[in-house]
Structure 1
Amino acid sequence: MRRTTFPLTIAAVAGMALLAGCSTSAGTGFGADSASSEPVTFICSPQEEWCQLIAAEFTKVSGIPANYVRLSGGEAVARLSATGETPEFDAWFGGGAEGHLAADEGGYVEPYVSPNADVIADEYKDADGRWTGVYVGALSFCSNTDVLDEIGADAPTSWNDLLDLKYKSNIAMAHPGTSGTAYQALWTQVEIDDGDQDEALAYFGKLHSNILQYSKSGSAPGQMAGRGEVATGIIFAQDCQKFINEGFTNLTTTFPEEGTGYEVGAVSLIKNARNPEGAKAFIDWSLTAEAQDLAATVGSYSVPTNPNAKITDDMVDFDDLNLVHADIDAAGAARNELTTRFDTEVAPAPKE
């Protein structure tokens, strides 16, 4: 099994040259003169509140109108594929980096190395600029303690715990074909099984009988657990914490002892963007500490990649977790084939 327990370096103290690399034309502090008059339209994969806030705040600080469409990771790749060489979007914000690499594989991403990427740790950015990390989140089990008591189960602390018959029809997860969260869970099993995709799919084949529902959205299983519809949802820990803070106080977060995967949520430039300069300005801004600090204000407790951004008590301490090694390039290259196999060998993707 390939895994690591390294401490993430995103909390290290960096220099104060946070915005030194930004160009300062058009009075925006971000991007070039031509960016200020044309709107930027971006795909946004995090939760709705965060998407709304970053669109509004980017416009406030840059003067560039911003619009977004919220799409999960799998939906984003599919939408980009459908539009081909005439994309609707200028940039993609959020969602796992492996999704951005899958989009790059299809020819939908234009490499862009932002001057603000200098402060981002190397493990959270692509050297060629195909994607740059804006946040990091760890997979977790988000469980309803009341339902656990009803079925006579403890909060799961391993992937194998989820196979217990006590959990029959009491687990929810998203489908990896539509959700970056679920694909991270699938790829985590690949890594735990030393790269054996057949073994990973076999695990989910066993888990299938305990799954009540495959959602399209990665965070939806946590809401299902909060409402008592299932005992456990497989989601990112920051989403479970958000639901706890919003009133689902019967939820508890646990992590698998064999190792848990982590997502590097990324931002990228769309190839043939209608407003490439505006998109670059948006990417530059999204990498600043000020932009990344916005997430926690709307209950998105992923860990920021900018070392000058604030770390709150609601964020996961990665030093406490057994993290499964994330080969992001391999995960991105395998995404289309692996999700297709999941669709045919384990469960079909949910329909509209």
Structure 2
Amino acid sequence: MTKGRRSRHGATLTMVLAAVVVAAASGCAREAGEVSADQDGGVVHVACGATEEWCAATAEQFTKTTGVKADFVRLSSGEALARIQAGKGNAEFDVWYGGPADGYAAAGEQDLLERYVSKNASAIPAQYKDASGLWTGVYVGALGFCSNGKLLKEKGLAAPQSWADLLDPELKKDIGIAHPSTSGTAYTALWTQVQLAGGDEDKALKYMRGLHPNVLQYTKSGSAPSQMTARGEVAVGVIFSHDCIATQEAGFPDLQVTFPSEGTGYETGGVALVKGAKNPTSAKKFVDWALTPEAQEIGPRVKAYQFPTNPATEVSDKVVDLDTIKLVNYDAEEAGAAKAALTKRFDEEVAQAPKS
């Protein structure tokens, strides 16, 4: 009897030890980011850097097409990066969608994204994606000037045609631009100055200090200056051209878009997997779908006129032809690597400086 009891206890102990080993192995797999498909919740949580309307329409159409539920939080580029940083080790989001790729590159530097080469990425031109799969571009938008023609006429000024024109003392506190720490749009403007200065960050920051007295305020969101310009709070906003066109269509015909003659920067709006995503299978489905013409044709239906990256996508006639404007050589990876240090310098040397 004693021997029998020992055998049963031995068998029980063996089963417990086996369970512990399996659990430990499972834990290691999760730490390594290997989450099995059956652990996917059939939902995808998206940090969305596009407009609220575009985010909503995209989530709705993705669910309708794939049957996978999608929800989103609309965040500016800097906010999205901060939230993903805060969720490291316990991811809040599965996917980051929309917003300039230099933010994605900065996230990659911090090991916050999971590399994934989608089956649909082959359709996207090489200049609009990271070759290793860190991020893939879904749209392209060019930076420009959004002017209130009525206000400029009252001042006796023409719409700006160059970065130099923005330094005109007649535009004192009459320019709207976001802060590059929170806005991908504004960081694109800052990095554009670096490129125009031949890579000289000191010279770029000197230009921004010259612009500083003409800036009414540094907004958090990159698209906010279009609303400020429309309401007549400022005469000129430095924003992506598609945001100005959308605001113009919303009932502000006095707005007009111009592009700087020296050259302008552009964003490649990306999509990427968040490292440690709780729903990796659904997240990959979202990335795959985001690269299709079906997904990229949603923008113009909600007045978002970026240029699509998939060549098979139908292009709205309201989308700016990138071949008609002068673009700087904008390397998202280089811009992303420099972002933390450069925005810190901007805050200390430009944004906090007194306005004369």
TM-score, L = length of structure 2:
0.87
2:325 is matched with 321
More helix per residue: 2
CA distance in 1, matches of 2:135, 2:123: 15
1:21 is matched with none
Larger Rg: 2
Partner AA of 2:232 in structure 1: G
Partner secondary structure for residue 112 of structure 1: coil
1:9 is matched with none
CA distance in 2, matches of 1:42, 1:308: 25
Deviation of 1:153 (Å): 1.2
Deviation of 1:76 (Å): 1.0
Question: Is residue 124 of structure 2 the alignment partner of residue 143 of structure 1?
Answer: no
1:75-154 map, 5 Å: 75-154=79-158
Question: Is residue 160 of structure 2 the alignment partner of residue 156 of structure 1?
Answer: yes
Query: Could you tell me whether the CA contact under 8 Å between 1:35 and 1:64 is conserved in 2?
Result: no
CA distance in 1, matches of 2:152, 2:40: 53
1:210 is matched with 214
1:236 is matched with 240
Deviation of 1:107 (Å): 1.2
Query: Could you tell me whether the CA contact under 8 Å between 1:93 and 1:268 is conserved in 2?
Result: yes
Query: Could you tell me whether the CA contact under 8 Å between 1:35 and 1:281 is conserved in 2?
Result: no
Partner secondary structure for residue 247 of structure 2: helix
Percent identity over the alignment?
54
Deviation of 1:156 (Å): 0.2
Partner secondary structure for residue 305 of structure 2: coil
Partner secondary structure for residue 310 of structure 1: coil
**CA RMSD, Structure 1 to Structure 2 (Å):** 1.4
1:187 is matched with 191
Partner secondary structure for residue 303 of structure 2: coil
1:1-352 map, 5 Å: 34=38, 37-347=41-351
CA distance in 2, matches of 1:34, 1:322: 49
CA distance in 1, matches of 2:280, 2:352: 36
Partner secondary structure for residue 120 of structure 2: helix
CA shift digits 1:171-225 (9 cap, x unpaired): 0001000000000000000000000111111111110000001111111101110
> How many residue pairs are counted as aligned between the two chains?
318
Partner secondary structure for residue 189 of structure 2: helix
Deviation of 1:104 (Å): 0.9
Give 4+ residue runs of structure 1 displaced > 4 Å after superposition.
32-37
Partner AA of 1:250 in structure 2: D
Deviation of 1:151 (Å): 1.8
Deviation of 1:38 (Å): 2.3
